[in-house]
Amino acid sequence: MKRSTSHRLLHHGRTFAAGCVVLLLLVAGVWASWERAHHIVLAKGREHGTMSVTGCGEDMCTGSFAPDAQSERRSGVTIERSVAVRKGDRFPVVVKPGTGEVVRTGVPGFLHAWVPLGGALVLASLLIAGGLRLTRTAWGTGAAGAVLLAATFFAL
């Protein structure tokens, strides 16, 4: 039995809509990750050092900053509070230009910065499988997101 034009149009419309939502999810994941990741990826010429966390509030943690050879001394810096930051921790950081806020560097910091993209990949895989009917692509996308999230968990 042949499909009618309206069925084909409905099928293509559903595929287009699912593709747009997948694209929106992935762009949003990259956008949210890039907020923190660009300080790590494009760290050349920025101030580097080590942060020792001395206290944590509800949203931010504060601590002392031990600069490397090219950076200037700072009295104190802040970092966004997360499960990876606790009082007494020491880790390498890079200072956001023009602020006293720092971002964790190294492999753990790099992976932590890309967590929003990992979540977006997992969510997009569901839409790729259900809306686009591309099961192999969905498995690959979901696996990539899950590996990123698991790697971050174990690195921190």
Q: How high is the pLDDT of residue 1?
A: 59
Answer left, alpha or beta for residue 34, where phi above 0 means left and psi between -120 and 50 means alpha: alpha
Give the pLDDT score at 114: 96
pLDDT along the chain (156 residues), means of 10: 83 94 97 94 89 91 89 86 85 91 92 96 96 95 98 92
C-beta separation of 152 from 112 below 8 A: yes
Instruction: Give the pLDDT score at 27.
Output: 98
Q: What pTM was computed for the model?
A: 0.87
> Within 10 A of 147 (CB to CB), how many other CB atoms are there?
12
Question: From CA 126, how far away is CA 17, in angstroms rounded?
Answer: 14
